[in-house]
């Protein structure tokens, strides 16, 4: 959390606001290749918050879509939990290596 605050403060202190605007001016978009983007702070960057938000959106969509099939709903939610854990672990490894 301290690194995030320091990074944002650095962006705020920079006279050129381009990097700050680029990091926060929109939400990272999910495209045909999945969720891809520059790693860093901000809603337009790959980080644990944007990955979590996208995963929650997918979970909500699948939960609603399979609500009438409870046996599938449980399997889908377990699969999503595994994907979240794997994705966040991979993101954390690549961000800090």
Rounded-to-integer distance, Cα 73 and Cα 55, Å: 15
pLDDT at 13: 95
Residue 97 pLDDT: 45
58: which residues sit within 8 A by CB, 6+ positions away?
Answer: 80
pTM for this predicted structure: 0.67
Q: Are 35 and 53 in contact (CB under 8 A)?
A: no
Q: Which two tokens stand for residue 33?
A: 């290749």
Q: Per residue of the chain (97 residues), what is the pLDDT tens digit?
A: 568 889 999 999 999 999 999 999 999 988 887 888 888 999 999 888 888 888 788 778 877 877 787 666 666 667 767 777 776 676 666 554 4
Percent helix, percent strand, percent coil in the chain, to nearest 5: 65, 5, 30
Residue 32 is predicted with a pLDDT of 82
């Amino acid at each position: 959390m301290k690194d995030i605050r320091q990074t944002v403060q650095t962006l705020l202190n920079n006279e050129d606001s381009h990097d700050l605007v680029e990091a926060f001016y929109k939400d990272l978009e999910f495209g045909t290749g999945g969720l891809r983007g520059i790693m860093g702070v901000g809603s337009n960057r790959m980080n644990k918050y944007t990955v979590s938000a996208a995963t929650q959106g997918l979970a909500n969509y699948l939960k609603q879509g399979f609500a009438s099939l409870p046996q599938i709903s449980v399997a889908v939610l377990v699969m999503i939990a595994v994907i979240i854990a794997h994705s966040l672990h991979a993101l954390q490894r690549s961000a800090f290596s």
